[in-house]
Amino acid sequence: MKPAEPKPVAGEYPIDTGLAELEAEPGNSSGWLLKINGMQSSHIDLADASRLEFEYMRWLVKLIEDRWSTSEKLRVLHLGGGACSVARYLVDQYPNSRNTVVEIDGKLAGYVREWFGLPKAPLLKIRVGEAREVLSALSENSRDVVIRDVFSGRFTPAPLLTEEFVTQAKRVLSPQGVYLLNCGDAPALANARREAATLAANFRHTALIADPPMLKGRRFGNIVMAGSDAPLATGGGLPRALLAGAMPATLWDDQQFRGFARSHQPFTDN
């Protein structure tokens, strides 16, 4: 029997960490926006898993697509769940991938499964837990990609910023693996520079994607960063693809990344 089609209902829903709001996308009956405690968290198009409405999510997957072909059996750990938009995208584009999403809010995880008809395990598994605790419990060399996209309000919780946390992420990565993070910051970019310093101190290769106004300190927004012990962003088409997006973005290589981080100290648990 064919499973029933998901039927989300717009409204407010109490969750373990506060309040979730589900809003229908104007003019698109299959589009839905998820807000958590008033902040935009995720967007899902039920008719098109390959559609990522949030620009920073498109930047994340472009870094993955630059490294691996779609036939690869990627093992991906998503720290931060929301609507599981990126995990759902990767199941669609990388049918041999295995995605584990770590979500601290058990009630939200249940709603997301109910609302959006997500792929089942082992393609997409939701694990309820705190990101650092789950990461620390995973086996060495057990993931090809670790994505950190965890927020409390506008910023990432402090325990997920530190060298000690990055060390755990690096431990579970394969030798060719990539650690990706979404950094939200204010125009001064103080947190972003320290996040960059933390990655630069722990990986041989780094890269960064953001739109030019963000990098010039003109607004609050998102910066995607990557760290790996294997070369990053080697595909010549990646910079052109980023410039062609709805929000044209800039790719900074390892030299530019380390210049951005220069004179800033890594985050540590202390």
What is the mean predicted confidence (pLDDT) over 3-13?
Answer: 85
Name all domains of the chain by residue range, CATH numbers in brackets.
53-261 (3.40.50.150)
Q: Per-residue pLDDT tens for 69-93?
A: 999 999 999 999 899 999 999 999 9
- Rounded Cα–Cα distance for residues 118 and 54 (Å): 18
Place of tokens 């579970």: 172
By percentage, how much of the chain surpasses pLDDT 90? 89
- Rounded Cα–Cα distance for residues 87 and 66 (Å): 17
Tell whether the model's pLDDT for residue 3 goes beyond 70. Answer: no
Q: Per-residue pLDDT tens for 109-129?
A: 999 999 999 999 999 999 999
What is residue 1's predicted lDDT score, i.e. its pLDDT? 44
- What's the mean per-residue pLDDT of the chain? 95
Strands 221-228 and 173-185: antiparallel
The DSSP secondary-structure symbol of 216 reads: T
What is residue 4's predicted lDDT score, i.e. its pLDDT? 63
What is residue 241's predicted lDDT score, i.e. its pLDDT? 87
Q: Per-residue pLDDT tens for 134-181?
A: 999 999 999 999 999 999 888 899 999 999 999 999 999 999 999 999
What is the mean predicted confidence (pLDDT) over 221-234?
Answer: 94
Q: Per-residue pLDDT tens for 176-213?
A: 999 999 999 999 999 999 999 999 999 999 999 999 99
In the sheet where 250-252 sits, what is the strand order?
A: 124-128, 98-103, 75-79, 143-148, 173-185, 221-228, 205-210, 250-252
